[in-house]
Amino acid sequence: MDGPGEELFLFGYRDRVEEVRRPLGTGFLSKSSETWNVGSSNGLNWKGDWPRLELVCEEPRLRAETESLNVLLWGSFPKILTYWSAFGGLTWMQNGKTLKGVSVTEHAFGGDSRLDLARLAPPRWHWDVLTFDDGSACAGLSATVLGRELPIRSGGSAPGMPFSAGRGLQTKVLDWERDAGRNVPRRWTGRLALGERSFHYEAIRSTPVAPVVPGGGFLGFDFEGRFEDGGPGHTGTGFTEYRAAGRP
């Protein structure tokens, strides 16, 4: 989070990841303290009356409308860092096409620090977002601390279940492969807690890696799984952010 700001757009497809990256100089970013209204001189504007927001960009030309219905707090450390995600519906308009999907709006804010906080980050973490055919979505985070993977936090909704928080995510990578000069999980299993239930799934990556995380990156994936206490199986698509620094 140090250094100059930038705008970054990533478009993930089965065969490629398209990236648009632009620097933000001093004074390029504008914001309003009264309403949700953020913009830049590069032609980006994100505004609305929460929970309904609209994102408009001139280049790449796109428009997205979101309605965030549920908020999951990942952590709150007063005057240091507060971080939450809001789950909801998405209408995406680009190249003359309109698509429906799921949105995850993230917001992180805190205080300034002279410490290099990036050096304090765990060497490995894994964050999965799962979206189901009925429009429900959930997410979970795990991190490796002192050589042990720990479930940090999870939450969201699944078919037939209301929105709820959980005890985190546990993963096991079954196959690794090389892509963009780094190790990338090709296939993995996950156990994501939602309230008192846990969803077990197997995921297979469906896009190339976007190498925007040191030692890791962003991926799209397909999954199938079911709740451990029974019920029908479920399939869907997802997004993962991971770091695997130090892995041979």
The model's pTM: 0.91
Q: Are 67 and 54 a contacting pair, CB within 8 Å?
A: no
Nearest to 126 by CA among 237, 12, 218, 9: 218
Beta bridge partners of 9: 20
Q: CB under 8 Å to 229, separation ≥6 — which residues?
A: 197
pLDDT band at 224 (very low <50, low <70, confident <90, very high): very high
Q: How many CB atoms lie within 10 A of CB 72?
A: 20
pLDDT band at 47 (very low <50, low <70, confident <90, very high): very high
Share of the chain above pLDDT 90, in %: 70
Type of residue found at 163: F
Q: Does domain 121-244 have CATH number 3.30.70.120?
A: no
Which pLDDT belongs to residue 138? 97
| Range 84-93 average pLDDT | 96
Least confident range of 40-49, 92-101, 115-124: 115-124
Beta bridge partners of 67: 52, 89
pLDDT at 248 over 60: no
Which pLDDT belongs to residue 174? 97
* Extended strands (E) in 50-181: 52-57, 62-77, 81-94, 97-110, 124-132, 137-145, 148-156, 164-166, 169-179
* Mean pLDDT, rounded, of the chain: 91
Each domain of the chain, given as residue ranges in start order, spans: 5-110, 121-244
Beta bridge partners of 3: none
Nearest to 18 by CA among 95, 81, 71: 95
Q: What is the pLDDT of residues 172-218, one digit of tens each?
A: 999 999 999 999 999 999 999 999 999 999 999 999 999 998 899 99
Q: CB under 8 Å to 206, separation ≥6 — which residues?
A: 14, 219, 220, 221, 222, 237
Q: Which residue has the tokens 């973490």?
A: 125
For residue 243 the two structure tokens come to: 């770091």
For residue 117, which phi and psi values (nearest 5 degrees)?
-65, -25
Q: How many CB atoms lie within 10 A of CB 63?
A: 13
pLDDT at 147 over 90: no
Q: Which residue has the tokens 């860092």?
A: 81
Q: Are 67 and 51 a contacting pair, CB within 8 Å?
A: yes
CA–CA separation, 36 vs 237, rounded Å?
30
pLDDT at 1 over 60: no
Q: Are 202 and 222 a contacting pair, CB within 8 Å?
A: no
Which pLDDT belongs to residue 246? 60
Bigger pLDDT: 183 or 32?
Answer: 183
